[in-house]
Homo-oligomer: A and B are copies of this chain.
């Protein structure tokens, strides 16, 4: 058993590499070395090689990586050739913006339904999507083969929505509510906490002298 644990940060960086490779491919550049690629995305060359190394050997010693080949390999690994159905729960400010957010479609994610608990919101339309009553969720998940649920409800309701998603069989949850969700082991939760992202700034603004004491995140500079 020589299976290595793969850091989640590696997977996250794989998407960064893929994006950069797509750019390079458009420019008709053929090959790139780990150090050139690393430089473009502010990462160490060894980091690039190690990340790729978890999934196989893609390079040619002495000359680097074939851009189109590596791009295709990463697309395969990351499932970019597939599309997934998404449900948005919560049609308030954030939720309604997400329903029509075009960035999702660009990445193989189709918002196919949306729900809200508030009767006043039911029946409203955003883009081509009509808001359904929250009670319809379990049925819709099965019928529409929803793989990903996006939680955009107030913090106090988030856990309940998560429970309902999990019970209906959804295994991936993107949580915009500023709260910690409890879910079974097999369910993957990503948190996007807009407030928290902004809040951490307030710490830095209040403690400018301390900023040197804080370690940089995922991809610090050299």
Contacts and interface: CB of A to CB of B under 8 A. Distances in A.
A76 to B, nearest CB: 9
Interface string A200-217: 111111111011011111
Contact of A201 (B179, B188, B194): B188
A3 B213 contact: yes
Contacts of A216: 8
The 9 closest A-B pairs by CB, nearest first: A79-B206, A97-B97, A79-B202, A172-B201, A190-B197, A188-B204, A107-B195, A6-B214, A41-B180
A53 interface: no
Contacts of A109: 198, 202
Chain A interface, >50% SS class: mixed
Interface in A158-197: 171-172, 174, 178-180, 182, 185-186, 188, 190, 192, 194-197
Interface in A57-116: 77-80, 82, 84, 86, 93-94, 97, 100-104, 106-109
Given A108-B202, A200-B11, A211 B186 contact: yes
Given A93-B101, A180-B219, A203 B78 contact: yes
A141 interface: no
A188 to B, nearest CB: 5
Interface of A: 3-8, 11-12, 14-16, 19, 40-42, 77-80, 82, 84, 86, 93-94, 97, 100-104, 106-109, 147-148, 171-172, 174, 178-180, 182, 185-186, 188, 190, 192, 194-208, 210-211, 213-217, 219, 221
A63 to B, nearest CB: 25
Given A77-B206, A78-B203, A84-B202, 8 more contacts: A42-B182, A97-B97, A104-B195, A147-B201, A148-B201, A188-B201, A190-B197, A192-B194
A48 to B, nearest CB: 13
Among A102, A182, A217: residue with most chain B CB under 10 A:
A217
Given A78-B206, A79-B207, A201 B195 contact: no
